[in-house]
């Protein structure tokens, strides 16, 4: 068994569309067999103090809790890992997807295309030229045929695939996840692993 993380989910604390009570999040993730979580609110990144506080409230030694954010461009959503929480201010919602991806990467972020084949709200043909580090090919917000399309897209672009829940309800936390070859204990570890492609989607859990 590798190291299993859910890389994409939202809590009600900072995402109005989510009904997940953050105080139940870690227990649920442990029940689901996850080694850790990355909270990716819409246009907000939990600062370390907030993560520390949540971890302190849970009795979860060794559990890895990280934060990143989800950026909604004019065409497609981008998961941005490894910037400082204040950097979210520089990412005004609705920007051009390829420009915002380039900006995030220039600032040192690692980026995953969120639900790239989701009906209505996904990328257009520009995704074929966007240098994502990974493509999310499995989540509760991708129908089975959208998951198959996303898998094909990742294969044809030679970009490694991830799975994540994109949970907005507590029961979906960890429904999909990504299995890493080795421990991922920090954002630096996560960035390195995503850059090296040492992971695979863990399938429906």
The footprint of Zn ion (CB under 5 A) covers 10, 17, 70, 166
H-type alpha helices, the chain: 22-31, 48-57, 97-106, 144-157, 187-196
Q: Name which of 17 and 56 has its Cβ closer to Zn ion.
A: 17
Q: Scanning the structure block, which residue is given the tokens 């399309």?
A: 149
CB of residue 61 to Zn ion, shortest distance in Å:
28
Residue 118 CB, shortest distance to Zn ion, in Å, is 10
Among residues 17 and 49, whose Cβ is nearest to Zn ion?
Answer: 17
Separation between Cα atoms, residue 127 and residue 97, nearest integer Å? 9
- Select 16 or 158, whichever has its Cβ closest to Zn ion: 16
Q: Of 52 and 101, which CB lies nearer to Zn ion in the complex structure? A: 101
Question: Smallest gap, in angstroms, from Cβ of residue 43 to Zn ion?
Answer: 10
Q: How far is the CB of 182 from Zn ion (least distance, A)?
A: 26
Please state the separation of Cα 176 from the chain's center in Å: 11
Q: Which residue has the closest beta carbon to Zn ion? A: 17
Structure tokens at 166: 């994109």
- In angstroms, the CA 82 to CA 193 distance is 12
């Amino acid at each position: 068994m590798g190291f299993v993380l859910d890389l994409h989910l939202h809590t009600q604390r900072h995402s109005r569309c989510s009904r997940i009570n953050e105080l139940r999040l870690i227990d649920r993730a442990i029940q689901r067999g996850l080694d850790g979580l990355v909270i990716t609110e819409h246009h907000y990144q939990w600062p370390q103090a907030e993560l520390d506080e949540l971890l302190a409230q849970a009795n979860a030694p060794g559990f890895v809790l990280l934060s990143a954010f989800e950026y909604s461009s004019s065409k497609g959503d981008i998961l941005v890992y490894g910037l400082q929480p204040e950097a979210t201010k520089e990412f005004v919602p609705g920007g051009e997807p390829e420009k915002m991806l380039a900006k995030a990467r220039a600032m040192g972020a690692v980026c995953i295309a969120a639900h790239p084949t989701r009906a209505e709200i996904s990328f257009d043909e520009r995704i074929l030229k966007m240098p994502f580090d990974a493509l999310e090919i499995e989540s509760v917000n991708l129908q089975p045929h959208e998951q198959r399309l996303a898998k094909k897209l990742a294969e044809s672009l030679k970009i490694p695939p991830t799975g994540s829940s994109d949970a907005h309800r507590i029961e979906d936390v960890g429904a999909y996840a990504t299995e890493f070859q080795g421990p991922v204990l920090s954002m630096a570890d996560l960035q390195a692993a995503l850059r090296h492609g040492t992971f695979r989607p863990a399938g429906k859990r």
